[in-house]
Amino acid sequence: MRPTAPGGFVLRLTACLTALLLAACAPATRSASVSAGSPTATAQASHAVLWRPGDPQLGAQVLWYTSRNDTDAMVRAKALRVVGYMAGKNMNSMSLSFPFSTPGPHADKVSTTASTPSVRHLAIVMDTAAAAGLRITLRPLLDEQTLLAKDPLAWRGSLAPADRDAWFRSYGKFLAPYLSLAARHHARTFVIGAELTSLEQDPRWQGVATAAHKLFGGEISYDANWDDYVSRRIRLPVHHLGVDAYFPLAALRDDASVGDIVAGWQKWLDRKSTGRLPGVVLSEVGALAEDGAYRHPGLWRGTGKPLDLTVQKNWFAAACRVARARGMAGLYWWNIDFHADPAAADPRTDVHSSFLGRPAESAISSCFRDWAAAHRTHTARTTP
């Protein structure tokens, strides 16, 4: 589905950004399905409501496993396409997730892989997003393929390094160039870890955070898995906590209402705290477009269940309602594949994990439009 056409204000803003974005996209070579300097792509990369400090973060996780064939120009083109799509869905923030690896569950080191985007290419995407007014979060995410190859039950939250001192030294060394990148290329937040449940209570995080602050002057955060978030206090030395929010609602049928889903989410969050949660960002929210997703929203592959577009849409609508009601700092949908072309999305045949071209898009767009409008109204009333 093609992004919504921009309104009058957006078109005026486009004129201001065109020179910058065209320069960023030169030379005008073609990627798989978008021209780097095309007027359509450039027009899409403007934004109706620019993020400002104090605004909620309304965005998506852009997941990027690099393609070896991508040139600088192709990366620029794909970046502009992603930014244009996000602007068309009333998003003001991008969290850029990219993979790194460890040899196994008990290994003492981490490293980049052939799928990790280069620092140069990450900078291109970040600059493109910043030119369109998006708030940027940079987020390394441990890929689990090497873990699963050693143990089918292993995941990033079950790491047990044989030498924790060595693991944290390796991890700090891995993070350093990306923290410097974040400092140079407009990032507001750097996520120093995501879903590393078994390591969360380790005091060595203080050293990681201290080194991070020396390289990056912005906000440092950590993203906890949903079950860990509600079951214990996470004492990492960060500015705020993100939650990868896949709360299972085992009692719900596929025809449950949005209100029923909201009630289920609230019960889960009440295990942690009742009332407002202004220091929390929902760092991942998503569900498969298929039967049974409410009962196992964290499952993403090989379920074989029938397609159900309403299940996914209602889950998205409910999550947004909860985040707004709790006064959370923001919400990021999971996920947009960096290489995907939203205009070519097929809601009937695409993988069930995608929301591109599906009714969930309307839930995203209306959620963020209404949330931003309510925030602006509240700010106008309370600002002297």
pLDDT at 22 exceeding the cut of 80: no
Distance of CA 147 to the CA centre of its chain: 23
CA 156, CA 287: separation in Å to the nearest integer? 20
- Average pLDDT of the residues in 68-85: 96
Other beta carbons within 10 Å of 247: 23
Q: Helix, strand or coil for residue 113? A: coil
The Cα-based distances of 317 to 261, 363, 384 in angstroms read 9, 5, 33
Q: Residues 203-224: what's their mean pLDDT?
A: 98
The per-type count for the chain, helices as H runs and strands as E runs, is 11, 8
Exposed/middle/buried for residue 18 (C-beta within 10 Å: 0-12, 13-18, 19+): middle
Torsion sign, CA atoms 285, 119, 22, 17: positive
Strand 330-337 and strand 280-285: the pairing is: parallel
> Is 87 in contact with 6 (CB distance < 8 Å)?
yes
What's the pLDDT at 49? 67
pLDDT tens for residues 327-362?
999 999 999 999 999 999 999 999 999 999 999 999
Helix axes 205-215, 164-184, angle to 10 degrees: 20
Please tell me the predicted confidence (pLDDT) of residue 262: 98
Rounded Cα distance between 64 and 57, Å, is: 20
* 258 close to 321: Cβ distance less than 8 angstroms: yes
Domains, the chain, ordered by start: 29-382 (3.20.20.80)
pLDDT digits (tens, 9 = 90+) for 286-308: 999 999 999 999 988 768 899 99
- DSSP letter, residue 197: G
Locate all alpha helices (DSSP H) within the chain, ordered by sequence: 8-25, 39-44, 72-88, 119-131, 145-150, 164-184, 205-215, 226-231, 258-270, 309-325, 360-382
Helix (H, G, I), strand (E, B) or coil at 321: helix
Structure-derived torsion over alpha carbons of residues 54, 361, 281, 220, reported in degrees to the nearest 10: -80
Residue type, 132: A
Asked whether the predicted pLDDT for residue 73 surpasses 60, the reply is yes
DSSP letter assigned to residue 87: H
Q: pLDDT band at 1, cuts 50/70/90?
A: very low
SS3 label, residue 280: strand
31 pLDDT more than 60: no
Q: Which residues pair with 224 in a beta bridge?
A: 243
Distance in angstroms (rounded) separating the CA atoms of residues 28 and 71: 12
pLDDT of residue 17 exceeding 60, the answer is no
DSSP state of 111: B
Confidence of residue 14 (pLDDT cuts 50, 70, 90): very low
- CA–chain centroid gap for 83, Å, is 13
Position 311, amino acid: V
Structure confidence at residue 48 as a pLDDT band (50, 70, 90): low
Band of residue 383 on the pLDDT scale cut at 50, 70, 90:
confident
Non-local (6+) Cβ contacts of 168 within 8 A are 202, 204, 205, 207, 208
CB 242 within 8 A of CB 226: no
In three-state secondary structure terms, 215 is: helix
Q: How many CB atoms lie within 10 A of CB 34?
A: 21
Name residue, tokens 């040899």.
Answer: 103
**What is the pLDDT averaged over residues 72-99?**
97
- In this model, does residue 66 exceed pLDDT 90? yes
